[in-house]
Amino acid sequence: MPKIYCFGNEFIPDDDIAVLLANKIKRINHFEFIKAESPMEILAEKEELWILDVVKGVSKTKIIDNPQQLKLTHSLTCHDLDVGFYLKLLLETGKLKMVRIIALPYGEKNINALEKEIVKILKKK
Protein backbone atom coordinates (compact mmCIF):
# COMPACT_ATOMS: atom_id res chain seq x y z
CA MET A 1 0.00 0.00 0.00
CA PRO A 2 1.54 3.36 -0.99
CA LYS A 3 2.16 5.80 1.84
CA ILE A 4 1.52 9.52 1.69
CA TYR A 5 3.89 11.31 4.04
CA CYS A 6 2.21 14.33 5.60
CA PHE A 7 4.55 17.14 6.62
CA GLY A 8 4.02 20.27 8.65
CA ASN A 9 4.72 21.94 11.93
CA GLU A 10 1.87 21.80 14.41
CA PHE A 11 3.25 24.83 16.23
CA ILE A 12 3.29 27.17 13.21
CA PRO A 13 -0.08 28.51 12.06
CA ASP A 14 -0.82 27.76 8.39
CA ASP A 15 1.89 25.05 8.28
CA ASP A 16 -0.04 22.40 10.21
CA ILE A 17 -2.87 21.55 7.80
CA ALA A 18 -1.26 18.42 6.30
CA VAL A 19 -0.60 17.06 9.78
CA LEU A 20 -4.21 17.76 10.80
CA LEU A 21 -5.40 15.96 7.67
CA ALA A 22 -3.13 12.98 8.42
CA ASN A 23 -4.72 12.73 11.86
CA LYS A 24 -8.20 12.82 10.30
CA ILE A 25 -7.66 10.72 7.17
CA LYS A 26 -6.06 7.35 7.75
CA ARG A 27 -6.70 5.85 4.33
CA ILE A 28 -8.17 6.76 0.95
CA ASN A 29 -8.50 3.97 -1.60
CA HIS A 30 -5.18 2.12 -1.38
CA PHE A 31 -3.23 5.10 0.04
CA GLU A 32 -2.21 5.23 3.69
CA PHE A 33 -1.63 8.64 5.30
CA ILE A 34 1.41 8.86 7.58
CA LYS A 35 2.13 11.79 9.89
CA ALA A 36 5.83 12.33 9.22
CA GLU A 37 7.91 13.13 12.28
CA SER A 38 11.11 13.83 10.36
CA PRO A 39 12.11 14.49 6.75
CA MET A 40 14.53 11.58 7.09
CA GLU A 41 11.55 9.19 6.92
CA ILE A 42 11.38 9.60 3.16
CA LEU A 43 14.85 8.05 2.81
CA ALA A 44 13.27 4.61 3.19
CA GLU A 45 11.14 5.03 0.07
CA LYS A 46 12.24 3.60 -3.24
CA GLU A 47 11.15 4.46 -6.76
CA GLU A 48 8.05 6.56 -5.96
CA LEU A 49 7.33 9.01 -3.14
CA TRP A 50 4.05 10.72 -2.20
CA ILE A 51 4.00 13.81 0.04
CA LEU A 52 1.17 15.96 1.39
CA ASP A 53 2.19 19.46 2.43
CA VAL A 54 1.25 23.11 2.19
CA VAL A 55 2.89 25.02 -0.62
CA LYS A 56 3.12 28.78 -0.88
CA GLY A 57 1.97 30.11 -4.22
CA VAL A 58 -0.57 27.34 -4.89
CA SER A 59 -4.15 28.62 -5.18
CA LYS A 60 -5.90 25.22 -5.11
CA THR A 61 -5.05 21.66 -4.14
CA LYS A 62 -3.11 19.95 -6.91
CA ILE A 63 -0.46 17.34 -7.62
CA ILE A 64 3.04 18.50 -8.45
CA ASP A 65 4.87 15.64 -10.14
CA ASN A 66 7.57 17.50 -12.02
CA PRO A 67 10.62 18.04 -9.79
CA GLN A 68 11.51 21.06 -11.94
CA GLN A 69 8.43 22.79 -10.51
CA LEU A 70 9.80 22.54 -6.99
CA LYS A 71 11.78 25.41 -5.59
CA LEU A 72 14.47 23.59 -3.63
CA THR A 73 16.56 25.80 -1.40
CA HIS A 74 20.29 25.63 -0.77
CA SER A 75 21.12 24.35 2.72
CA LEU A 76 23.40 26.63 4.70
CA THR A 77 22.87 25.41 8.27
CA CYS A 78 21.43 22.36 10.03
CA HIS A 79 18.13 24.24 10.28
CA ASP A 80 17.93 24.18 6.49
CA LEU A 81 17.83 20.37 6.35
CA ASP A 82 14.16 20.14 5.49
CA VAL A 83 12.06 17.96 3.19
CA GLY A 84 13.36 19.85 0.15
CA PHE A 85 16.95 18.93 1.00
CA TYR A 86 16.14 15.21 1.21
CA LEU A 87 14.02 15.33 -1.94
CA LYS A 88 16.87 16.91 -3.84
CA LEU A 89 19.30 14.31 -2.48
CA LEU A 90 17.09 11.36 -3.44
CA LEU A 91 16.33 12.71 -6.91
CA GLU A 92 19.93 13.63 -7.75
CA THR A 93 21.25 10.25 -6.61
CA GLY A 94 18.61 8.47 -8.66
CA LYS A 95 17.15 6.60 -5.69
CA LEU A 96 13.71 8.02 -6.49
CA LYS A 97 12.23 7.97 -9.96
CA MET A 98 9.00 9.82 -9.17
CA VAL A 99 7.93 12.33 -6.56
CA ARG A 100 4.33 13.39 -6.29
CA ILE A 101 3.43 16.20 -3.95
CA ILE A 102 -0.18 16.85 -3.12
CA ALA A 103 0.19 20.60 -2.70
CA LEU A 104 -2.26 22.30 -0.38
CA PRO A 105 -2.82 26.07 -0.57
CA TYR A 106 -0.91 27.88 2.17
CA GLY A 107 -3.34 29.48 4.61
CA GLU A 108 -6.37 27.33 3.71
CA LYS A 109 -8.13 26.29 6.93
CA ASN A 110 -11.19 24.39 5.68
CA ILE A 111 -10.13 20.81 6.46
CA ASN A 112 -13.38 19.28 5.15
CA ALA A 113 -13.04 21.00 1.77
CA LEU A 114 -9.37 20.00 1.51
CA GLU A 115 -10.23 16.40 2.36
CA LYS A 116 -12.83 16.34 -0.45
CA GLU A 117 -10.28 17.71 -2.91
CA ILE A 118 -7.70 15.08 -1.86
CA VAL A 119 -10.26 12.28 -2.23
CA LYS A 120 -11.14 13.56 -5.72
CA ILE A 121 -7.46 13.68 -6.74
CA LEU A 122 -6.60 10.23 -5.35
CA LYS A 123 -9.62 8.49 -6.84
CA LYS A 124 -8.03 9.19 -10.23
CA LYS A 125 -4.78 7.45 -9.20
pLDDT in tens, 1-20: 889 999 988 888 888 899 89
Domain range enclosing 27? 3-123
Domain count, the chain: 1
Distance CA 111, CA 125 (A): 21
- In this structure, the number of other CB atoms found within 10 A of the CB of residue 107 comes to 11
Distance CA 87, CA 100 (A): 11
- Provide the pLDDT confidence category of residue 40 given band limits of 50, 70 and 90: confident
Angle between helices 17-24 and 111-123 (to 10 degrees): 70
CATH classification at residue 79 = 3.40.50.1450
User: On the CB side of 121, how many CA atoms lie within 13 Å of its CA?
Assistant: 21
**Predicted pLDDT of residue 103:** 92
User: pTM of the prediction?
Assistant: 0.85
Condensed to tens digits (0 to 9), the pLDDT of residues 59-112 reads 999 998 876 666 654 444 443 457 777 888 888 888 888 889 999 998 988 999
* First-to-final CA distance of the chain: 13
**Predicted pLDDT of residue 125:** 74
CA dihedral over 69, 50, 37, 110, signed as positive or negative: positive
